[in-house]
């Protein structure tokens, strides 16, 4: 009997109709099993030995790492209680002293105040001055004066104006208390786990504390903000209210700006309890470090010494891991 006749007979039986598709699939599967593996790609040991050979993008170059060539470290030459020297590019700490001791940050607090303000406001937002914080260093704001957020940031970061920092906080939805809550939330998001803030200015308070490690970490993050990085490097500037009727001449409190090559900020701080505080960014030969000194007897002398020590004792080297085949 011919194949077509047999197939027709099978199809006529109801019990076999349900198996037609199964039979067809079986035939197709058998065809591919018997078919020679032409054009089929198999992975060999050689092809998976180094899979990165076929990565279609450039692997980032290793970052230069600071390496001491003398193993000489500061001793009694530095008066500060808390010290951290941090390389933000590699994440390396070049030197630390009491890095995790809780100390009063004083006006270095205003670095965080600026970050929270920039999260909440636009630079051209206009603030109407309400309460004026007249104690300590001020830029000379008056009640009712209208001034932009940008100019208040100049006042807080360049002149370390307590009145400017307070005005930024008071303008916040919910007022100063809500702003301080936002400061602590921001600190936690930046993993400043040993820090707590009670005011936007840096007034002494038993619960207003930072460590040198946290301050270095905060400063490194703040410098990624172009507005802050620009402002803290300005030696002096004159700004005005929005009506250009009141002018404020601001001078940077950081005496190292313009005096020591490569210094680009960042922030000073002083109270009787805190002593002299200073956070400094310095860049030489394409390498930057952040130097934090807390509770110093002479913050500028300490920092100048540490700058010389860093660039006299460290080289930046790139370590390239060997390629393994």
List active site positions: 107, 110, 160
Which structure tokens are listed for 320?
A: 């390239």
CA atoms within 13 A on the CB side of 140: 11
Question: In this structure, how many other beta carbons lie within 10 angstroms of the beta carbon of residue 85?
Answer: 28
Which structure tokens are listed for 180?
A: 């301080």
Decide: 148 and 156 in contact? Cβ < 8 Å.
no
Nearest C-alpha neighbor of 215 from the set 145, 110, 127, 143? 110
3-state SS, residue 62: coil
In whole angstroms, give the CA distance from residue 236 to residue 69. 38
Nearest C-alpha neighbor of 66 from the set 91, 97, 83, 98? 91
Nearest C-alpha neighbor of 160 from the set 106, 209, 199, 197? 106
Helical H segments across the chain, by residue range: 3-12, 14-17, 20-34, 45-49, 110-120, 149-157, 162-170, 175-189, 212-222, 226-231, 299-313
Which structure tokens are listed for 169?
A: 């906080």
């Amino acid at each position: 009997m011919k194949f077509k006749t047999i197939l027709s007979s099978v199809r006529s039986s109801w019990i076999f109709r349900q198996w037609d598709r199964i039979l067809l699939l079986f035939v197709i599967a058998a065809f591919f099993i018997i078919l020679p593996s032409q054009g089929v790609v198999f992975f060999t040991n050689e092809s998976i030995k180094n899979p990165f050979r076929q990565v279609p993008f450039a692997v980032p170059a290793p970052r230069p790492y600071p390496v001491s060539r003398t193993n000489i470290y500061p001793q009694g030459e530095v008066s500060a209680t808390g010290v951290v020297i941090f390389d933000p590019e590699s994440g390396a700490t070049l030197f630390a002293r009491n890095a995790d001791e809780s100390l009063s940050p004083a006006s270095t607090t205003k670095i965080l105040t600026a970050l929270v303000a920039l999260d909440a406001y636009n630079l051209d937002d206009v603030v109407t001055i309400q309460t004026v914080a007249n104690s300590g260093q001020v830029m000379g704001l008056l009640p009712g004066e209208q001034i932009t957020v940008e100019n208040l940031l100049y006042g807080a970061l360049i002149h370390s104006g307590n009145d400017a920092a307070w005005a930024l906080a008071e303008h916040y939805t919910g007022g100063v208390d809500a702003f301080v809550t936002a400061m602590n939330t921001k600190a936690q998001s930046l993993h400043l786990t040993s820090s707590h803030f009670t005011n936007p200015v840096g007034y002494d308070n038993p619960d207003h504390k930072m460590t040198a490690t946290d301050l270095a970490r905060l400063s490194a993050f703040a410098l990624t903000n172009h507005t802050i990085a620009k402002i803290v490097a300005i030696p002096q500037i004159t700004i005005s209210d929005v009506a250009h009727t009141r002018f404020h001449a601001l001078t940077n409190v950081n005496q190292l700006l313009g005096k020591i090559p490569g210094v680009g900020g960042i922030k000073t701080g002083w109270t009787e309890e805190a002593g002299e505080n200073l956070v400094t960014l310095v860049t030489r030969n394409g390498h930057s470090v952040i130097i934090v000194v807390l509770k110093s007897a002479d913050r500028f002398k300490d920092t100048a010494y540490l700058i010389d020590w860093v660039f006299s004792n460290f080289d930046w080297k790139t370590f390239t891991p060997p390629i393994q085949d």
